[in-house]
Structure 1
Amino acid sequence: MLILYSYPELFGVADNNGYGLKVFAYLKIAGVPFEHRHILDASAAPRGQLPYIVDGSEIVGDSDAIIAHVARRYGADLDSQLTDMQRKLGLMLRRTLDDLYWVMSYSRWKDDAFWPAFSAALLAQHPSLSMADLERARSFNANRYYFQGIGRFEPRDAYARGIADLQAIASFIPDDGFLFGEQPSSADAALYGFIANIYFYPIETPLRQCVMEERRLVHHCEAVHAMAMG
């Protein structure tokens, strides 16, 4: 059976990282059986990043590569009915989510206003963790943010960037159905992976405040969540 390795759950969300949750949702919606193993140490993962899958003798990292593998191997292509333009729009959406990722992560690990609530939630849900573990991870992430660039932003400016991403995405969601029709696609799984990791977290960051104000983001997130967790 296919095994998905990804970060642990938090606040009832199956993975507290948008990329792992994206793969989880895709597998669930596509009806592909899998075992989900939650880990924190990514040293054994391809390129040292989660999520990754083990499928027989194959090990596949990167969320988009995993989805492509699943679509090919299991005939579970949620994008089979999309037009070429819709596929390209899906790619643009995923790239916008890549930008949003950094602001989301910044809100958890860097911003002193929200770090206490986030770290306390991790410690409460995962007793094997210690505060020393989290402080090491926080220091590691601070270096990542600095070299990526978001770590050089003041919080107000960082959140302005993420809010602009969220508002642009919200304008793209139809009033009814999913992004490209009545059935969800890989783009819907990707969007859910990130929005659920904001919406279901009871930590009132500016990103969550924005999501709560965008009815279409909330509706879409709840619809995909029901399919993925049902």
Structure 2
Amino acid sequence: MLILFSYPELFGVADNNGYGLKVFAYLKIVRLAFEHRHIFDASTAPRGQLPYIVDGDEVVGDSDAIIAHVARRHGADLDSGLSAAQRQLGLMLRRTLDDLYWVMSYSRWKDEAFWPAFCAALLAQHPSLTVEGLEKARSFNANRYYFQGIGRFEPHDAYARGLADLEAIANLVPEKGFLFGERPTSADAAVYGFIANIYFYPIETPLRRYVMEHPHLSRHCEDMHALVML
């Protein structure tokens, strides 16, 4: 059986990282049986990053590579009916989500306004964690943010970037249904992975306020959540 390794859940979301939740959602929508193993330590993962899967004798990292592998090896391709233009739009959307990831992560680990609530939530749900360990993770992330670039932004400027990403996404999400019609595709799984990690978190960051104020985003997130949590 395929095994998905990803970060643990938080606030009722199956993975507190957008990339892992994207893969989880895809696997659930295509109804492929899998075992979900939650881990914190990514040091043995491909490229030192989560999520990754073990599928027989193959180990695959990177969320997009995992989805491509599942579509190819298991014939579970949510995008088989999409046009070339729709596939390209899906790629552009995923790249926008890549940018949003850094702002979302910044809001949790770096911003002094929200770090205490995020830290407390992790400690409450995962007793194996310690304050010391989370402070080390916070320091590690601060270095990542600095070299990526978002860590050099003041909070107002960082959130302006994330809100621009959310606006672009919100303008693509329809009032009803999914991004490319009545059935979800990999793009819907990707959007859900990140929006759910904002929408379901009771921490009032500027990103969450934006999602709550835009019913198309919250409706899409709720519909996807109902599908993947069956």
Per-residue deviation, 1:168 = 1.0
Matches of 1:11 and 1:174, distance apart in 2: 26
TM-score, scaled relative to structure 1: 1.00
2:166 maps to 166
Q: Mind listing any 5+ residue stretches in structure 2 that lack a counterpart? A: none
The reply on whether 1:45 has 2:45 as its aligned counterpart is yes
Structure 2 SS opposite 1:13: coil
* 1:171 partner amino acid: N
1:8 maps to 8
**Paired-residue identity, %:** 80
* 2:70 partner amino acid: V
* 1:215 partner amino acid: P
Matches of 1:69 and 1:168, distance apart in 2: 28
Matches of 2:108 and 2:115, distance apart in 1: 5
Structure 2 SS opposite 1:60: strand
* 1:206 partner amino acid: P
1:152 maps to 152
2:127 maps to 127
2:60 maps to 60
2:72 maps to 72
Structure 1 SS opposite 2:182: coil
Per-residue deviation, 1:176 = 1.4
Residue deviations 1:75-114, cap 9 Å, x none? 1000000000000000000000000000000000000000
Matches of 1:123 and 1:173, distance apart in 2: 34
1:208 maps to 208
Per-residue deviation, 1:225 = 0.4
Residue deviations 1:118-162, cap 9 Å, x none? 000000000000000000000000000000000000000000110
The total of aligned residue pairs comes to 230
Matches of 2:175 and 2:89, distance apart in 1: 18
Matches of 1:200 and 1:154, distance apart in 2: 25
Q: Mind listing any 5+ residue stretches in structure 1 that lack a counterpart? A: none
* 1:185 partner amino acid: T
Matches of 2:166 and 2:202, distance apart in 1: 18
* 1:6 partner amino acid: S
Matches of 2:35 and 2:91, distance apart in 1: 27
Q: Where does 1:102-121 land on structure 2 (aligned, <5 Å)?
A: 102-121=102-121
Matches of 2:56 and 2:107, distance apart in 1: 37
Per-residue deviation, 1:42 = 0.4
Per-residue deviation, 1:173 = 1.0
Q: Where does 1:187-202 land on structure 2 (aligned, <5 Å)?
A: 187-202=187-202
2:18 maps to 18
Matches of 2:59 and 2:18, distance apart in 1: 20
Matches of 1:55 and 1:210, distance apart in 2: 38
Matches of 2:34 and 2:45, distance apart in 1: 18
Matches of 2:85 and 2:174, distance apart in 1: 16
TM-score, scaled relative to structure 2: 1.00
